[in-house]
Amino acid sequence: MNEARNEALNEAMNESRETLTPMIHPAQNRCFGCGAANPSGLHLEFQLAADRSVVCLPVIPETFESHPGCLHGGIIATLLDEIMSKAVRARGHSALTRHLQVDYLRPVPSLVPLRMEGRVLRSRGRSHWTEAHILNAQGATLAHAKAVFVEPRPSN
């Protein structure tokens, strides 16, 4: 699986002229989406683009399918939530999902290179409004989401 992900990442980066900088994650992170310490997780890797958006180039295994060849809707929502969360984190904030709205436009296939993009649209106080897309190799949008993330109040 890691070989397929790395090959897709290298292929996508070679075809693109954009500069992407890897984002660093905590070593023992158990997050289902990005945690290296979670053996059942997606092990997503994120990169920061020049425009401050976040990009991920995953190949998701068939383990996460619903219908044969298509990712489960909950996994699609997770992918979109993860990329938006990382967009907020790239701005220096740690926040939790308050509201998530997903539009499933086309089936999202497993076992093929995908491109995920997430960005912060605006921030005010502890709230951050975001959007994300999952695209296929041809650049067609397969799923789109908007979300509001809120930073937790500091503990007293």
43: left (phi over 0), alpha (psi -120 to 50) or beta: left
Sheet holding 127-135, edge to edge: 20-22, 47-49, 54-56, 115-124, 127-135, 141-150, 96-104
86 lies in some domain: yes
156 falls within a domain: no
Residue 6 confidence (pLDDT): 45
Torsion of CA 13, 115, 145, 25, to 10 degrees: -60
Kindly report the number of other CB atoms within 10 A of residue 51's CB atom.
8
Q: What is the pLDDT of residue 91?
A: 95
Distance CA 106, CA 53 (A): 23
CATH code at 122?
Answer: 3.10.129.10
- The predicted pLDDT at position 4 comes to 52
- The whole domain housing 83 covers 2-150
pLDDT at 136: 97
Residue 38 covered by a domain = yes
- Short-list 128, 96, 133, 105, CA closest to 117: 133
Residues of the chain with pLDDT under 50: 1-2, 5-6, 9-10, 13-15
Q: Is there a domain that residue 68 lies in?
A: yes
Number of domains in the chain: 1
